[in-house]
């Protein structure tokens, strides 16, 4: 059975790129453009991994990660944070919120897939 990945990304091009690449590698992918729907969709889809944009239009990805860690259904699902923020201390803040992985944009496909595979192997 294919591993399931929820992609929370409000940028249409990034979301399509992530989903297309993941599907080409055999993963079952559920895209979410609206951060407000992310955790509800995660509870329905029950992914093996959540890829979370940090800078979403309606809600902070950091807040969603923290909320997912308090949710009994979602707390065990690893989160790979993807963000355009790559300033000093950002990775530490994101990991402190509960993300197990971190990539800064722009994302190259090789490191992206290596991070996804690594996190799924540990999950």
Q: How many residues does the chain have?
A: 123
**pTM reported for the whole predicted model:** 0.96
Q: What average pLDDT does the segment 27-31 reach?
A: 98
Q: Which residue range is the domain that position 30 belongs to?
A: 4-122
| pLDDT 10s digits, 58-78 | 899 999 999 999 999 999 999
What pLDDT is stored for residue 89 in this prediction?
A: 85
Q: Where are the alpha helices (DSSP H) in 4-108?
A: 12-24, 38-45, 61-70, 90-97
What pLDDT is stored for residue 51 in this prediction?
A: 98
**Which among 100, 105, 104 has a CA at the least distance from the CA of 118?**
100
CATH code of the domain containing 50: 3.40.50.2300
What pLDDT is stored for residue 39 in this prediction?
A: 97
Residue 11: CB atoms within 10 A of its CB come to: 16
Say if residue 1's pLDDT is above 90: no
Structural domains of the chain, count:
1
**The pair of three-digit structure tokens given for residue 31, joined into one six-digit string:** 């895209």
Q: How far is the C-alpha of 82 from the C-alpha of 61, rounded, in Å? A: 9
**The pair of three-digit structure tokens given for residue 39, joined into one six-digit string:** 């955790």
Say if residue 94's pLDDT is above 80: yes
Element housing 118 (H / E)? helix 109-122
Q: Which percentage of the chain shows pLDDT scores above 90?
A: 88
Residue 2: CB atoms within 10 A of its CB come to: 12
Q: What angle do CA 118, 74, 107 make, to 5 degrees?
A: 40
| pLDDT 10s digits, 97-115 | 999 999 999 999 999 999 9
Which residues partner with 21 through β-bridges?
none
């Amino acid at each position: 059975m294919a591993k399931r990945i929820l992609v929370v990304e409000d940028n249409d091009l990034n979301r399509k790129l992530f989903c297309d690449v993941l599907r080409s590698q055999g993963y079952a992918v559920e895209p979410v453009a609206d951060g407000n729907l992310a955790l509800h969709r995660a509870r329905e889809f029950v992914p093996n991994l959540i890829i979370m944009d940090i800078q979403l239009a309606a809600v902070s990805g950091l807040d969603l990660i923290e909320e997912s860690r308090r949710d009994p259904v979602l707390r065990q699902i690893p989160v790979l944070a993807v963000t355009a923020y790559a300033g000093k201390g950002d990775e530490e803040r994101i990991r402190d919120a509960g993300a197990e992985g971190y990539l800064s944009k722009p994302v190259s496909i090789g490191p992206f897939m290596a991070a996804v595979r690594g996190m799924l192997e540990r999950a």
